[in-house]
Structure 1
Amino acid sequence: MALWDRIKESASTMQTQLNAKKNDLKSGAFRDASMAMCALVAAADGSIDITERRRVAQLIASNEVLQNFQADDLQRRFEANLDKLVADFEFGKVGVLQEIAKAKKKPAEARAVVQIGIVIGGADGNFDQTERGVVREACFALGLPPAEFDL
């Protein structure tokens, strides 16, 4: 199986698993951590262009699990996290990882946040090493072993 197909299949599998847990993923901590994760993956290389910003915003708006929350609220939180990362990536990353760590208390939510990062990273068919690296860092912030997610 080609790498492209494996990435798409993995992202699809993660999304299916998320959809199965949709009714359990309604807390503010999950919402905040998910938006921080989306921003971290989108800006993984230290920058984000307008096209990538729009693409991730569309993925957030269309994600079935995230429809538990108001779209404009999610957008505002995503943009706020992106702004931190764009202003000063390394300093912003510390704050964004702290936001992600809010989901640590509930293991199902923590795993779902990582899965959202993988879905966002793999949505373009190229879950690159930089994106994998920031999701791996998020795993550590959440107290989860990266190997559980093949990271």
Structure 2
Amino acid sequence: MALWDRFKESASTMQAQLLAKKNDLKSGSFRDASMAMCALVAAADGTVDQAERQRVAQLIASNDVLQNFPADDLRRRFDEYVNKLTTDFDFGKVSVLQEVAKAKKKPAEARAVVQIGIVIGGADGDFDKDEQAVVREACYALDLPPHEFDL
């Protein structure tokens, strides 16, 4: 099986796992960590153009698991995190990773945050090295082994 086919299958499996846990993923820390993760993936290469910001915002709004939260609230939080990253990527990344790390108190939420990052990262058909690297860093912030997610 080609690498891309394995990735698509893995992302599909992760989305199914997220849906199965949807009712358990309603906390504020999960919401904030998920939006921080989405911003990290969007800004993984150090920049976020308007088209990319819009595309990720649409993915967030259409994600069944994230529909536990008001879409306008998610968008506002996502935009705040992206702004931190685009103002000063290195400093912003430290702050945004701290938001991600707040989900580590609940292992199911922590795993779900990583899975959302992978699903968002691969939605355009290319989960590139920069995106993989920030998701790997998030794994460390959440005390999760990256190899659990094939990173």
Shorter-chain TM-score above 0.5: yes
Superposed CA offset, 1:31-62 (max 9, x none): 00000000000100000111111110000000
Aligned to 1:73: 73
Aligned to 1:95: 95
Aligned to 2:126: 126
Q: 2-side partners of 1:47 and 1:3: how far apart?
A: 27
Q: Which runs of 5+ in 1 are unaligned?
A: none
Instruction: Count the aligned residue pairs.
Output: 151
Aligned to 1:148: 148
Structure 1 residue 67, shift from structure 2 partner = 0.1
Q: Which runs of 5+ in 2 are unaligned?
A: none
Q: 1-side partners of 2:115 and 2:16: how far apart?
A: 10
TM-score (norm 1): 0.98
Q: Which runs of 4+ in 1 moved over 3 A?
A: none
Superposed CA offset, 1:59-94 (max 9, x none): 000000000000000000000000000000000000
1:79 alignment partner, SS class: helix
Q: 2-side partners of 1:14 and 1:85: how far apart?
A: 26
Cα RMSD over matched residues?
0.8
What percentage of aligned pairs have identical amino acids? Answer: 80
Structure 1 residue 4, shift from structure 2 partner = 2.8
